[in-house]
Structure 1
């Protein structure tokens, strides 16, 4: 039975080129279409200069652009500023109203999945469920490192969804939680910034053995008298968890979209750090239907020594996806 998993791209993947003015939004969409990644994940606060006052005409323009390239929206990435500029924290009512604003725009754009940042409280989301149901938008709380699928904070959101018996609240995995091996690009940058190879090797070995990160940080900072760069590298282990890929099927009913984070692909189109070769078969086995949305974040680890080529990195990831999904030589139609 063929997999119903589709392929897409988050526009966040091209942040380097867009920031430098080397790619427009339409350039990003055109490229995604060229590699068969027809699903577009959008960040309105970054990609729509008129946000939050987006007109119907602007939305129509986006749909016309997507149609030109045979693409479609898959997910709306929302942000919640909990602090105003005068340092006053938003009240609960103000937070709910901010999320309601995003749900409304998400609906107006014809998008049915909204990424919710990890720090949004479950009780706030519970108050937003009636709006999500009315607007038919699924709120997926991003499961982002250092959190993981079984984390109590994530389970609280699932408890709310179960108690309300709603199909409009759940989770949205970020594949960074499946870091089986330390990211080579990260190690290389720390070494360029003054970390000694023997120390970086120790940190990589500790991660490989899945030693508790605080132990490694203590070893590097105190026992090995690491320099500031070496300590910073050790501290990245707090955000480098390796969740059990076999558990993803247990949580699949709660998510509709995946942010397929990655930091760098090898020339033979393999991810040396994240366990996609273990996760994707579990998704297929679970019969999950949704979009794997590329989220390239390796630019910040290589930009000091080379020109960032997000397009090539994303292309390589989708070659890996096609292999793991068993797509034909002509590619799977991503409708």
Structure 2
């Protein structure tokens, strides 16, 4: 049987080349289309120079670009700077107004999914649900490491959605929560910064055994008298838990879009870090039908020693997606696709 999972790319994946002026937004869209990734996730604050004052003409240009490449806009990544606004915190009313502004623009762009940053309070989102329903936009709270599906903070959003009986508030998982193995690009960067092989191996072993991060940090910083690079490497463990992939199927009703985080793809088109085979098997078996949207973030770990090639990295991830989806389809019961 054939699943309904679709493939896409977040324009965030090409941040290195766009920052350096090596790729335009249209180059990024063309790259995605060339590998069969038809869904385009946008970050209006980064990708639309006149944000938030986007004219109808500009929106028309985005739609024309999608038509040229046979792609569609799939997700709108919103930001909410609650920390500082004219030297003070934003009030609750200002936060609601900011989110409503994004919902309106999301609707004008014809996008039905909006990524909401994980720190936005559930009670603020509850106030925004009527706007989301009126504009037909799903607000997906990003489940970003170190949070995970069953985290108490995430479950507060689930509780609000259930209590309101709304289909316009839910979750948007970031695959970084399924970091099964320590990223080789992280390891190599810390070695270049002076981490000693024996301490690096200790941290890798601790991660493989899923030892609590704070214990590892203490061992490295105090008992092993780690240097700055070694302590920094140990501290990354705080932010990269390994959530149980089997739990994702239970949350499928709450999300419409997935950010497919990755740091590197090997030459054989495998991800040495994230448990994609396990996750995709659960998605296929659960009959999920949204977009897997590539989110490449490995550039910052290699840019000190080699040119970043985001296009090739994204291409390899989609080769992996095609393979893993086909493998999962061969094993999934037919009822998953009914």
Q: Same fold (TM over 0.5)?
A: yes
Q: Find the counterpart in structure 2 of residue 225 from structure 1.
A: 225
How far residue 228 of structure 1 moved from its aligned partner, in angstroms, is 1.1
How far residue 326 of structure 1 moved from its aligned partner, in angstroms, is 1.4
Inter-partner Cα distance in structure 1 for 2:88 and 2:102: 21
How far residue 84 of structure 1 moved from its aligned partner, in angstroms, is 3.4
Task: Encode CA deviations 1:269-319: one digit per residue, 9 max, x unaligned.
Answer: 000000001100100000011000000000000000000000000000000
Task: Encode CA deviations 1:214-267: one digit per residue, 9 max, x unaligned.
Answer: 000000000000011111100000111111111110001100000000000000
Matches within 5 A, 1:245-284: 245-284=245-284
Structure 2 SS opposite 1:294: strand
Give structure 2 stretches of 5+ with no counterpart: 328-338
Task: Encode CA deviations 1:157-193: one digit per residue, 9 max, x unaligned.
Answer: 0000000000000000000000000000000000000
How far residue 87 of structure 1 moved from its aligned partner, in angstroms, is 2.1
How far residue 83 of structure 1 moved from its aligned partner, in angstroms, is 3.0
Structure 2 SS opposite 1:308: coil
Matches within 5 A, 1:194-209: 194-209=194-209
Inter-partner Cα distance in structure 2 for 1:246 and 1:87: 44
What TM-score, normalized to structure 2? 0.96
Q: Find the counterpart in structure 2 of residue 91 from structure 1.
A: 91
Structure 1 SS opposite 2:199: helix
How far residue 107 of structure 1 moved from its aligned partner, in angstroms, is 0.2
Q: Find the counterpart in structure 2 of residue 212 from structure 1.
A: 212
Inter-partner Cα distance in structure 2 for 1:28 and 1:87: 36
Matches within 5 A, 1:65-80: 65-80=65-80
Inter-partner Cα distance in structure 2 for 1:84 and 1:212: 33
Inter-partner Cα distance in structure 2 for 1:311 and 1:201: 31
Inter-partner Cα distance in structure 2 for 1:67 and 1:276: 31
How far residue 85 of structure 1 moved from its aligned partner, in angstroms, is 4.5
Matches within 5 A, 1:1-335: 1-326=1-326
How far residue 325 of structure 1 moved from its aligned partner, in angstroms, is 1.2
Structure 1 SS opposite 2:125: helix
Count of residue pairs brought into register by the alignment: 327
Inter-partner Cα distance in structure 2 for 1:94 and 1:9: 31
Task: Encode CA deviations 1:86-110: one digit per residue, 9 max, x unaligned.
Answer: 3200000000000000000000000
Q: Aligned-pair RMSD on alpha carbons?
A: 0.7
Q: Find the counterpart in structure 2 of residue 333 from structure 1.
A: none
Inter-partner Cα distance in structure 1 for 2:88 and 2:117: 20
Task: Encode CA deviations 1:184-217: one digit per residue, 9 max, x unaligned.
Answer: 0000000000111111111111000000000000
Structure 2 SS opposite 1:119: coil
Inter-partner Cα distance in structure 2 for 1:317 and 1:239: 23
Structure 1 SS opposite 2:86: coil
Structure 2 SS opposite 1:326: helix
Inter-partner Cα distance in structure 2 for 1:12 and 1:205: 32
Give structure 1 stretches of 5+ with no counterpart: 328-335
Structure 1 SS opposite 2:76: strand
Inter-partner Cα distance in structure 2 for 1:197 and 1:224: 13
Inter-partner Cα distance in structure 2 for 1:201 and 1:59: 51
Inter-partner Cα distance in structure 1 for 2:252 and 2:101: 27
